[in-house]
Structures are given as structure tokens and as C-alpha cells.
Amino acid sequence: MEIAVVGGGIVGGSVAWQLASRHAGNVTIYEQAVIAAGASGRTGALLRRHYTNEPEARLAQLGWEVFRNWDERVGGSCGYVPWPVVVTVATKGDYASNVDLLHRNIAMQNRLGIDARVISAGELQELEPHAFVDDIDVAAYEPESGYVDSIQATSSMIEAAQRAGVTVQEGVEVLGIVESGGRVTGIETGDGTKSADIVVCAAGPWSTQLMATAGVEVPVSTIRVQIIIAQRPFELAHPHAVYLDTVAGIFTRPWAPGRSLVGVAGGDQHDEVDPKTANLFNDRDYPARAISAIAKRIPGMKNARYLHGHAGLYDMSPDAHPIIGGTGIEGLYLAAGFSGAGFKKAPAVGITLAELIMDGEARSADLAPFALDRFATDAWKTPWSETEYRFDSDFGHGL
Ligand SMILES: Cc1cc2nc3c(=O)[nH]c(=O)nc-3n(C[C@H](O)[C@H](O)[C@H](O)COP(=O)(O)OP(=O)(O)OC[C@H]3O[C@@H](n4cnc5c(N)ncnc54)[C@H](O)[C@@H]3O)c2cc1C
């Protein structure tokens, strides 16, 4: 059996690794540029498991178990750092109902085996002496969710796939998907048509255009999001927690010794772009905005120094939940629309999509909620849970 995986990011790598490990056939990864050229090389790679809906929390948990036990499960290292993750939600004034929602979401996560608890602002202050906490009452606290090195993890995943027999073709763009009579038969590349019994499209923001060549409509749009790496002042040499901070409007994590990765929520950076031509550099004013935003949570960061940064692309689905599974064409599968939060889930996507492809059913986690056909009606407009937070910061996605 010939299997083509389009996209050499963490998702394509993970699907290829699982399919080859389970001896599904001859698996080839086609990557138009280099491994981790897309979001997988530009991401924050925070592994927060805090979600307001169970299907995504399950994928985050299953993914985290792989990251945490990488050497045993995948082999090598993904640069995992077990580190506290703090998620803040507004609770003052009109936002008071978020307190109860936070408790309910943590209870759901605990049921799934996620080590998380609600902490008070006072407890956060003890854990994070440099933090400003007067603007919050409670936060979600995950002692060990941590983060990984995204390029190391993607490369290591693809090395594992190679060890299992996968062929990697860098610099080969897949120009089209060929189907006949409702069944996929191959892919088109600059070198001609390659036959394939199974094609998995894991092409991130490029998926919409590629799937259209097989007549499959994929409602994924592309937005541009920036991050910076800043040097912390010496008084903050000890790394702070990872924050997904909907109150201060930032996501941040320690990067390398003395440095932090910072991203700022903000509508102006969420304009739709063309993935082929998007500007992947920081806007001129972005570093100052990022530093002033992180200083809302860690005031001493006002003296942080910008070192470098970049933009990356989010593949946004209409409901900001991933699209994983079959496509209506036999043998053609899709894993895209991760909406800015797919890195942590990627190992789980590989495991479950391989189960679906080979066994006809995903057993390790339910993929039904992620089906592409949810967009055929207005069903996708129904929120995935009753515990979604109200917050004003625009991260491009909810929680
Ligand atoms: C700034 C930023 C911060 C983020 N922070 C987090 C975070 O903290 N935690 C988290 O979980 N997620 C985060 N994400 C999201 C996460 O990085 C992505 O969801 C994840 O990396 C998607 O992986 P992927 O393999 O699906 O896509 P990609 O990494 O984009 O890979 C797709 C690949 O397909 C290739 N390709 C496309 N078209 C073709 C074609 N026709 N032929 C051949 N190859 C093709 C591309 O070159 C690319 O390498 C962030 C993303 C960004 C941009």
C-alpha cells in the first residue's frame, strides 16, 4: 500500500510515524520546503492542557503523555521542559461567572487525568513573586505541563518515522490530489503523478487550496501571528511560569536561559493573509507592544530587551477547533485547521488518525467531533461546551 503524507510539520510527521510504526505500507512525507518550515518551526510549543471542551482536552492530554515520555515512546528528545503553566481568566465585574467555569473546567480536566488545580491570586503571588496579581482572583495551575523545543520535536518525530521506514522528500511540492470515482489514486508533483492508496493532507494553511484540487471544500483561513524572544533583566533571571494570560492578553514561556518568548493578543495581527506571500517578520512596533504587554503581568519585564522574533501562520477553522478525519473521498484524510493550538495535540493526532485509517475507528480518543462534515450545516456554530469563558483578549482562538 502506498501512502502519501503532505506536510512535514509536527502533524504530518506524527501521522507518518504512527502509520509506519503500525506497518500500514510504504509511507512518504512530501514537504514543499524543509521539515518544520511552517507553524511547527515558529510556534510557542506551550503544552497547556487547559481547555473548556473535553474532546480537545483529551487530545492535549494524550499528546502531553507522548511529549513527557518522548525517549520511550518516540526515541531521542523533544526538548520537553516540565514547567508550571498558569491560565488566567477575568473574574472582576461582569466576568464573575468565569470563577465557576474555571472550577468546572478543572474538574473536567482532572477527570481526564490532567494534573491541574485552581489557585488564588495569593497563591500565584507566592509561586511567582515577580508577578502582578491584583487584576485576578483565581487562575488555573498545571504544575508540569511545560513546553518543548518545536524544531527539535518535529525533527525527532520525523527521525522516528524514518526509523520506522518512512521516506522523506523535502523540497517537493504536492500540486494536486488525484481521485477517480470517489477514491484517491495519487498525487501530482513537479516530477509527475505518484500513485497512492491513501493520502493524508497535513498541509496547515495550504490545505484549503490543495484539497480543492480533489474537489473537497476545506473552510480553513490563514492568519498571521507574531512572537518575540526577549532577554529578561537580571533581577528576573530565574524563569517565570508559562502563561496563557487572557487578562494581560499574552502568552509567554521561558525560552533559553535568561530569555522569554512573548506573544500578544490583538485584532490587528489577525488579518487574513495568503500563506504563500505572508510577511514572516515582526512588524516594527511589535516588540515594544509585546514587552509592554508582558510587563502588565511581570512589571520588571518593562526593562526586557528585544532580541529577535518572527511571525507564523495559524490555520483557522470556522469554529477554531481542528478538522481531523475522512473527507468523503475514500482514502483521502485531512488533519488541519488547528487554529493556533495544534502543536500539543500532534502526537495524539498521529495516534488517533492512524487508528481511524487502519482500524476504521479512533479508539484512543474520539475523533467524531473533529469531522469535516460538521461544516455542512450550521451545527458547528453550537459551542462545544457550556463552560467557555468570556474574555476580551483576541488570541485568534478560545480556550
Ligand atoms: C506564533 C505561533 C504560536 C503558537 N503557539 C502554540 C502553542 O503554544 N501551543 C500549541 O499547541 N500550538 C501553538 N501554535 C500552533 C501550532 O504551532 C500549529 O498548530 C502546529 O505547528 C501545526 O502543525 P502542522 O504540521 O499541522 O502544520 P505546519 O507546521 O504548518 O506544517 C505544514 C507543512 O506543510 C507544508 N506544505 C504545505 N503545502 C504543501 C504542499 N502542497 N506540498 C508539500 N508540502 C506542503 C508546509 O511547507 C509546512 O511545512 C502556534 C502557532 C504559531 C504560528
Mutate to test the pocket of ligand 1, among 43, 80, 255, 338 (most ligand atoms within 8 A of CB): 43
**pLDDT under 70 in the chain at which residues?**
267-270
Q: What is the pLDDT of residue 336?
A: 98
Q: What is the pLDDT of residue 382?
A: 95
Phi, psi (5° rounding) for residue 54? Answer: -70, -40
Would you list the domain boundaries of the chain?
2-45+151-219+318-381, 82-145+222-316
Atom of ligand 1 nearest to the CA of 227: 1
Q: What is the pLDDT of residue 270?
A: 66
Q: What is the pLDDT of residue 357?
A: 98
Q: What is the pLDDT of residue 265?
A: 86
Nearest CA to ligand 1 atom 3: 43
Virtual torsion, Cα 290, 296, 297, 300, nearest 10 deg: 80
Starting at the earlier edge strand, list the strands of the sheet with 183-189.
174-180, 183-189, 192-195
* Topology of domain 2-45+151-219+318-381, CATH: FAD/NAD(P)-binding domain (3.50.50)
Ligand 1 within 6 A of 9 CB? yes
Sign of CA dihedral 104, 105, 110, 113: positive
**Domain 82-145+222-316 annotated CATH 3.90.1150.10:** no
CB 246 within 8 A of CB 389: yes
Instruction: Measure 32 CA to ligand 1 centroid, in angstroms.
Output: 13
Q: How far is CA 3 from CA 201, 208, 267, 280, in A?
A: 11, 20, 40, 32
Ligand 1 within 6 A of 38 CB? yes
CB 282 within 8 A of CB 292: no
Atom of ligand 1 nearest to the CA of 343: 11
Q: What is the pLDDT of residue 267?
A: 62
Model confidence pTM above 0.75: yes
Q: What is the pLDDT of residue 121?
A: 97
C-alpha span between 39 and 45 (Å, rounded): 10
Mutate to test the pocket of ligand 1, among 28, 40, 252, 399 (most ligand atoms within 8 A of CB): 40
Instruction: Measure 93 CA to ligand 1 centroid, in angstroms.
Output: 37
